[in-house]
Amino acid sequence: MIKAFFMRSSLLPVTLSLILVCLVGWLLVVGRSLLLPFVIALVVWYLINALSAFLARAPSRDGRPVLPGWLSLGLSLVLIFSAGTVVFDMVAANLADLARDGTIYQARLESLFNQVATLLKLNDPIEFRDLMPEGGVQRMVTAGAGFITQIAGSASLVFIYTLFLILEQSTFDTKFARLFSNSEKAEAAFRVRAEINNRIRHYFGIKTAVSIATGALTSAVLIVMGLPYAALFGFIAFVLNYIPTIGSMIGVIFPSLLALVYFDTLTPFFVISVGLGIIQFSIGNLIEPRLMGSSLNISGIVIMLSLALWGAIWGVVGMVLCVPLTVVTMIICARFPASRPIAVLLSADGNIVDDSTSSTAVKDMNGA
């Protein structure tokens, strides 16, 4: 009877944890329209503070910062939202043009499939409509335009959230410290937050830099080859570079397919496919791993599962944020004995840094 009691008592926390996970997942899906603008605002707020810290650290000749903190913060806010407005306007215009010409490109793809089938003398040739229904290209482009329009429509709400986060961020440390009963627990929590901040900042900083390089090089190749919508495909390559593994493949496939039906010969298609493939391979497999190092320490299969999970919950935004969310989960789980096995399973090599060995101090967090 005692054994049965202990079995019931050990199953109770597991059952409650599963119920809590299911409830949180349900809330994330149901509250998607409310949560996504705030999540995007958090990312924008984080980028604004990172850019502000970079501008504030730029010294003058006498070694003092050129810009005061309030000015660098305001300038970062204006720069990021202005750049976002220009980019989204340009992308929306390109998508509108592509949606208008979508039926033409789909007809050319169908004709190309028929030519290949005739050339190979297939008894049961694969037709384009077997892979994609009639009007599928136009619907895909229209869906992309709708996604951009949705983000642009919530831009005002994102701006308001971001503005309030900036106005109240001076009180965050005080509120965070008062959540704990004593200074030792607060200091430990600050160390965990500092580690999360450092690793996410490291990830986003490198990922943003290589994504900008990927988008710029993609646009440059397409402009040189004379393919239309080069700015659109550059932006797509920039966004998709945040999505692990599949993002780089999609960034090559879309412009290559357009080149296949836009040009009369196959030479531009091969040049664009090989050129973009070299760019994606060089940046994704040579440059980025060297810059990123082993700071993330996340298992590859965990990244793919996280990509599928957050993509199903929050779509493209979830795919972009799947790696940072997994990093945060792993760091928090590593700090508690009960959840430490979860962190070990999420990691790439099983080496989880213990909280006592963390050298990040509270002052580092305040200065980050």
Asked if residue 131 and residue 86 are part of one domain, the reply reads yes
Over residues 223-252, the mean pLDDT reads 86
- As for how many domains the chain has, the answer is 3
CB 166 within 8 A of CB 328: no
177 in a structural domain: no
Asked if residue 136 and residue 245 are part of one domain, the reply reads no
Over residues 260-288, the mean pLDDT reads 88
Asked if residue 339 and residue 290 are part of one domain, the reply reads no
* pLDDT at position 222: 93
* Residue 136 binned pLDDT confidence (cut-offs 50, 70, 90): low
* pLDDT at position 359: 40
Asked if residue 290 and residue 217 are part of one domain, the reply reads yes
Rounded Cα–Cα distance for residues 290 and 300 (Å): 17
* Residue 213 binned pLDDT confidence (cut-offs 50, 70, 90): very high
* Residue 363 binned pLDDT confidence (cut-offs 50, 70, 90): very low
Asked if residue 124 and residue 99 are part of one domain, the reply reads yes
Which range of 5-14, 156-165, 197-206, 346-355 scores highest in mean pLDDT? It is: 156-165
Asked if residue 155 and residue 74 are part of one domain, the reply reads yes
Rounded Cα–Cα distance for residues 330 and 344 (Å): 8
| Domain assignment of residue 203, given as a range | 197-295
Higher-confidence position of 132 and 316:
316
0.85 surpassed by pTM? no
Is the pLDDT reported for residue 349 higher than 70? Answer: yes
CB 72 within 8 A of CB 48: no
Burial 43-64 (b: 16+ CB within 10 A, else e): bbbbbbbbbbbebbeeeeeeee
Asked if residue 253 and residue 217 are part of one domain, the reply reads yes
* pLDDT at position 64: 65
235 in a structural domain: yes
Is the pLDDT reported for residue 232 higher than 60? Answer: yes
- Where among 120, 149, 167 does a domain terminate? 167
Asked if residue 114 and residue 145 are part of one domain, the reply reads yes
Asked if residue 268 and residue 243 are part of one domain, the reply reads yes
368 in a structural domain: no
29 in a structural domain: no
Asked if residue 290 and residue 320 are part of one domain, the reply reads no
Q: What is the rounded average pLDDT for all residues in the chain?
A: 78
* Residue 364 binned pLDDT confidence (cut-offs 50, 70, 90): very low
Is the pLDDT reported for residue 3 higher than 60? Answer: no
Residue 267's Cα: distance from chain center in Å? 33
pLDDT digits 0-9 by tens, 162-183: 889 998 888 888 888 888 888 8
* pLDDT at position 153: 65
Is the pLDDT reported for residue 50 higher than 90? Answer: no
9 in a structural domain: no
Asked if residue 161 and residue 74 are part of one domain, the reply reads yes
Is the pLDDT reported for residue 367 higher than 50? Answer: no
Q: How many CA atoms, within 13 angstroms, populate the side-chain half-sphere of residue 13?
A: 6
Task: Assign 3-class secondary structure to the chain.
Answer: CHHHHHHHHHHHHHHHHHHHHHHHHHHHHHCHHHHHHHHHHHHHHHHHHHHHHHHHHCECCCCCECCCHHHHHHHHHHHHHHHHHHHHHHHHHHHHHHHHCHHHHHHHHHHHHHHHHHHHCCCCCCCHHHHCCCCHHHHHHHHHHHHHHHHHHCHHHHHHHHHHHHHHHHHHHHHHHCCCCCHHHHHHHHHHHHHHHHHHHHHHHHHHHHHHHHHHHHHHHHHHHCCCCHHHHHHHHHHHCCCCCHHHHHHHHHHHHHHHHHCCCCHHHHHHHHHHHHHHHHHHHHHHHHHHCCCCCECHHHHHHHHHHHHHHHHHHHHHHHHHHHHHHHHHHHCCCCCHHHHHHHECCCCCCCHHHCCCCHHHHHHC
50 in a structural domain: no
pLDDT digits 0-9 by tens, 75-99: 888 888 888 778 777 777 777 777 7
* Residue 5 binned pLDDT confidence (cut-offs 50, 70, 90): very low
* pLDDT at position 6: 45
Asked if residue 230 and residue 144 are part of one domain, the reply reads no
Residue 166 has phi, psi (to 5 degrees) of -65, -40
256 in a structural domain: yes
